[in-house]
């Protein structure tokens, strides 16, 4: 293990290390802690310049109540859910199939198609912007959740296929050969043998894509406008315009917008990190 | 006919099998690939080609486009805003790479087994999970000259107030710093996973040979972290060139357009209140795409070498 385990160091350094951890963490998260503190302060603290003192009264419930009951925020949150969940299902579904095809079968253009997915996934969004917006307009899907979902599924399929294909490559191939010898149909091999083995990959990919799509801002402002279809990342800017200079409310709104992926991360931490770091170890 | 109730488990003789059955192994992958490929061609590959085409036209998105040849690209040459954006992209690329060594340092700091370390690791990783929009807001308030934490902090040391985002020379660096926050967290988690897999025997061998500290890190640990470093490099480069959200939220390109990057400038030209110059925007996007293509080609080449190695 590197660096040398702390248990083997002198007692003094061990204590220093234990003391240093929380201090480092507070510095690291300081900008965020500040916003969390802002979000429970009353408006009067800001007008009187009491930015960093203790809150004169605890207004957490009132501030968050405002966000939930007196703004479009719940609407935006719901839109985000209706954009994110279908995208996760669609992208993971398509890439399970594509990953299976690229991971199991040997055919001439295999690597070429695989690299097409990989390369497409790295492309800057702006090269797609004008045509995709135009296409969405032509399909009559501009400013709808469906329009956004369809694009997201297509784009995320690139990354998901890269992930799935590499995962399937690492599965024991003799299993599939054995099934073929038994005369099992290929689609049954996919459904009954490979898919159950892919559960960890599906879990990891689902949390990752959930976070990516929830946090998307660029496509949200290119393909939608207004509270009927915009997700929360785009909605927060309208929210902030509505409550201009009401820092306690803007802070509460930001925290609400950021929370779902954070909750997802803490609930599914193992899968999340496994997904992010796939390939980081040989 | 009692014996007929037992289903026939033998594969039918080759001559009688249908076309699909005979070509099953060759056809199945294409059936499985078809939906993904169609979606991807339709929404990703084909639009790239279309953007190239649009960049040769002058088009406001509504009326008929007029062919102007290379006019858009010629205009880019004299566009000082384009030059600023390109230069800022370069700053992003170089400074964003700081996420890699800093991420490694934090990973080394946290790679211990004291109680509660798991929670510390998660909390250090936390900024990556938050959307860039919220990171942008959080840092806008962090830099605020009247109540921002940064200036409160500087005040303790008797230093003068800095209006980071209002200063044309400082603003880009301020935004990059905000972007580095989640990016460093990402690199940290990559290295933490990498450090977990470092071969303990090599470390022991190194210790016996008297290697420790920086020498151990440089000659024994970092070579073993190569896969993690490669991924950190890929995601950091891509992240740097994709920067858009933070700029849009924190400064909206200002002050005086000094924080624009290509991705933002393209959006501004093609879709914002400054007018719908789709052709000109597409030309900017093509330039950004070509820059990115150099990196993509390098990444694919590395991956291809890796594939051949297996």
Q: Residue A273 has which token pair?
A: 């990190």
Q: Which residues of A touch B186 (CB under 8 A)?
A: 276
A61 part of a folded domain: no
Task: Encode pLDDT of B162-217 as tens digits.
Answer: 999 999 999 999 999 999 999 999 999 999 999 988 888 888 888 888 887 888 88
The closest of B304, B289, B298, B301 to B45, measured between CA atoms, is B289
- What does the pLDDT average to over B258-285? 89
- Find, in chain B, the residue whose alpha carbon is nearest to that of A35: B138
Euclidean distance between CA atoms A165 and A163, whole angstroms: 6
Three-state DSSP at B306 gives helix
Contact criterion met (CB < 8 Å) for A118 and B281? no
- What does the pLDDT average to over B83-91? 95
Q: Which residues of A touch B270 (CB under 8 A)?
A: 129-130
Euclidean distance between CA atoms A276 and A208, whole angstroms: 7
Euclidean distance between CA atoms A162 and A171, whole angstroms: 15
Contact criterion met (CB < 8 Å) for A280 and B231? yes
Task: Encode pLDDT of B123-176 as tens digits.
Answer: 999 899 999 999 999 999 999 988 888 998 898 998 899 999 999 999 999 999
Q: How many CB atoms lie within 10 A of CB A221?
A: 20
The answer to whether B246 and B132 are in contact (CB under 8 A) is yes
Which of A1, A36, A127 should be substituted to probe chain B, the one whose Cβ sees the most B Cβ atoms within 10 Å?
Answer: A127
Task: Report CA-CA distances (Å) from B288 to A31, A247, B252.
Answer: 32, 36, 19
- Find, in chain A, the residue whose alpha carbon is nearest to that of B124: A25
A162 part of a folded domain: yes
Give the count of domains, chain A: 1
Contact criterion met (CB < 8 Å) for A132 and B217? no
> Taking the alpha carbons of B134, B139, B142, B144 in that order, is the dihedral positive or negative?
negative
| Residues with Cβ within 8 Å of residue A195, at least 6 apart in sequence | A96
Q: Which residues of B touch A123 (CB under 8 A)?
A: 44, 48, 289, 292, 296
Euclidean distance between CA atoms A204 and A72, whole angstroms: 32
Task: Report CA-CA distances (Å) from B166 to B89, B177, B253.
Answer: 19, 15, 11
Q: Which residues of B touch A211 (CB under 8 A)?
A: 129
pLDDT given for residue B2 in this prediction: 43
Looking at chain B, the whole-number percentage of residues with pLDDT higher than 70 is 93
Q: Where exactly are the structural domains of chain B?
A: 88-260
The closest of A152, A155, A97, A153 to A122, measured between CA atoms, is A155
A24 part of a folded domain: no
A45 part of a folded domain: no
pLDDT given for residue A243 in this prediction: 86
Reply yes or no on whether the pLDDT at A242 is more than 90.
Answer: no
- What does the pLDDT average to over B81-95? 95
- Distance of alpha carbon A242 from the chain centroid: 27
The architecture (CATH level 2) of B88-260 comes to: Orthogonal Bundle (1.10)
- Phi/psi for B56 (5° steps) reads -95, 5
pLDDT given for residue B63 in this prediction: 83
A12 part of a folded domain: no
**B169–chain A nearest CA distance, Å:** 22
Range in A80-89, B93-102, B189-198 with the lowest mean pLDDT: B189-198
The answer to whether A13 and A6 are in contact (CB under 8 A) is yes
User: CA neighbours within 13 Å on the CB side: how many for B241?
Assistant: 22
> Taking the alpha carbons of B96, B101, B104, B106 in that order, is the dihedral positive or negative?
negative
Euclidean distance between CA atoms A247 and B137, whole angstroms: 11
Q: Which residues of B touch A236 (CB under 8 A)?
A: 133-134, 137
Reply yes or no on whether the pLDDT at A66 is more than 80.
Answer: yes
Query: Where do runs of H (alpha helix) occur along A48-125?
Result: 60-69, 73-104, 110-122
- Distance of alpha carbon B11 from the chain centroid: 50
Range of the domain at A166: 72-276
**A65–chain B nearest CA distance, Å:** 20
Euclidean distance between CA atoms A174 and B129, whole angstroms: 38
**B33–chain A nearest CA distance, Å:** 5
A222 part of a folded domain: yes
User: CA neighbours within 13 Å on the CB side: how many for B75?
Assistant: 17
- ipTM of the shown complex: 0.92
Task: Report CA-CA distances (Å) from A278 to A110, A271, B84, B258.
Answer: 21, 10, 37, 38
Task: Report CA-CA distances (Å) from B134 to A178, A250, B55, B154, B284.
Answer: 51, 10, 33, 24, 27
- Summary mean pLDDT of chain B: 89
The closest of A8, A195, A177, A185 to A96, measured between CA atoms, is A195
Q: Which residues of B touch A250 (CB under 8 A)?
A: 137
- What does the pLDDT average to over A30-34? 90
Euclidean distance between CA atoms A250 and B133, whole angstroms: 13
pLDDT given for residue B1 in this prediction: 40
Task: Encode pLDDT of A127-183 as tens digits.
Answer: 999 999 999 999 999 999 999 999 999 999 999 999 999 999 989 989 999 999 998
- Interface size A-B, in CB pairs within 8 Å, comes to 294
- What does the pLDDT average to over B64-73? 90
The answer to whether B57 and B66 are in contact (CB under 8 A) is yes
- Distance of alpha carbon B195 from the chain centroid: 23
Contact criterion met (CB < 8 Å) for B303 and A115? yes
The closest of A155, A30, A260, A134 to B270, measured between CA atoms, is A134
A39 part of a folded domain: no
- What does the pLDDT average to over B268-273? 84
User: CA neighbours within 13 Å on the CB side: how many for B26?
Assistant: 6
User: What CATH number does residue A81 fall under?
Assistant: 1.10.3720.10
Contact criterion met (CB < 8 Å) for A29 and B43? no
Reply yes or no on whether the pLDDT at B260 is more than 80.
Answer: yes
A48 part of a folded domain: no
**A11-17 contact pairs (CB < 8 A, 24+):** A14/B114, A17/B112, A17/B114
- Find, in chain A, the residue whose alpha carbon is nearest to that of B286: A127
**A77–chain B nearest CA distance, Å:** 14
| Residues with Cβ within 8 Å of residue B73, at least 6 apart in sequence | B55, B283
Reply yes or no on whether the pLDDT at B8 is more than 60.
Answer: no
Q: Residue B250 has which token pair?
A: 């924190």
Task: Encode pLDDT of A101-114 as tens digits.
Answer: 999 999 989 999 99
């Amino acid at each position: 293990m590197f660096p040398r385990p702390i248990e083997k160091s002198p007692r003094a350094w061990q204590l220093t290390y234990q003391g240093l951890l929380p201090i480092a963490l507070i510095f690291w998260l300081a900008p965020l802690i500040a916003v969390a503190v802002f979000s429970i302060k009353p408006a009067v603290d800001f007008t009187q310049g009491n930015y960093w003192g203790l809150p004169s009264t605890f207004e957490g419930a009132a501030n968050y109540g405002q966000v939930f009951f007196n703004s479009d925020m719940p609407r935006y949150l719901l839109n985000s859910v209706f954009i994110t969940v279908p995208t996760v299902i669609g992208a993971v579904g398509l890439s399970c199939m594509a990953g299976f095809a690229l991971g199991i079968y040997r055919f001439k253009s295999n690597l070429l198609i695989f690299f097409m997915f990989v390369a497409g996934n790295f492309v800057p969004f702006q090269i797609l912007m004008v045509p995709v917006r135009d296409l969405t307009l032509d399909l009559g899907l501009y400013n709808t959740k469906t329009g956004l979902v369809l694009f997201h599924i297509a784009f995320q399929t690139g990354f998901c296929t890269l992930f799935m294909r590499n995962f399937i490559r690492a599965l024991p191939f003799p299993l599939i050969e054995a099934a073929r010898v038994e005369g099992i149909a290929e689609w049954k091999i996919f459904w009954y043998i490979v898919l159950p083995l892919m559960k960890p990959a599906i879990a990891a990919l689902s949390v990752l894509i959930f976070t990516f799509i929830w946090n998307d801002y660029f496509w949200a402002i290119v393909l939608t406008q207004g509270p009927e279809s915009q997700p929360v990342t785009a909605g927060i800017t309208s929210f902030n315009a509505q409550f201009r200079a009401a820092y306690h409310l803007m802070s509460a709104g930001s925290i609400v917008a950021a929370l779902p992926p954070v909750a997802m991360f803490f609930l599914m931490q193992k899968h999340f990190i496994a997904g992010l770091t796939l390939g980081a170890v040989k | 006919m009692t014996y007929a109730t037992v289903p026939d488990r033998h594969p039918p003789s080759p001559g009688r099998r249908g076309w699909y059955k005979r070509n099953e192994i060759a056809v199945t992958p294409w059936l499985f690939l078809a939906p993904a490929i169609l979606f991807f061609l339709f929404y990703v590959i084909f639009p790239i080609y279309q953007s190239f085409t649009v960049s040769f036209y002058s088009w406001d998105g509504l009326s008929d486009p007029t062919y102007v040849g290379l006019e858009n690209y010629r205009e880019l040459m004299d566009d000082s805003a384009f030059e600023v954006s390109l230069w800022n992209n370069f700053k992003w690329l170089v400074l964003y790479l700081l996420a890699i060594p800093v991420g490694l340092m934090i990973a080394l700091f946290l790679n211990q087994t004291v109680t509660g370390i798991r929670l510390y690791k998660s909390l250090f990783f936390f900024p990556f999970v938050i959307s860039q929009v919220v990171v942008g807001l959080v840092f806008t308030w962090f830099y605020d000259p009247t109540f921002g934490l940064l200036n409160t902090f500087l005040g303790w040391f008797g230093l003068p107030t800095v209006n980071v985002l209002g200063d044309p020379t400082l603003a880009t660096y301020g935004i990059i710093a905000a972007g580095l926050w989640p990016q460093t967290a990402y690199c940290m988690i990559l290295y933490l996973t990498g450090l977990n897999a470092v071969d303990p025997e090599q470390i022991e061998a190194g210790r016996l040979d008297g290697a420790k500290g920086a020498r151990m890190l440089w000659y024994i640990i970092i070579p073993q972290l190569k896969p993690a470093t490669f991924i950190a490099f890929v995601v950091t480069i891509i992240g740097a060139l994709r920067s858009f959200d933070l700029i849009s939220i924190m400064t909206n390109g200002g002050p005086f357009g000094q924080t624009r990057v290509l991705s933002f400038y393209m959006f501004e030209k093609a879709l914002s209140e400054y007018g719908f110059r789709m052709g000109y925007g597409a030309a900017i996007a093509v330039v950004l795409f070509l820059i990115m293509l150099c990196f993509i080609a390098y990444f694919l080449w590395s991956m291809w070498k890796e594939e051949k190695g297996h």
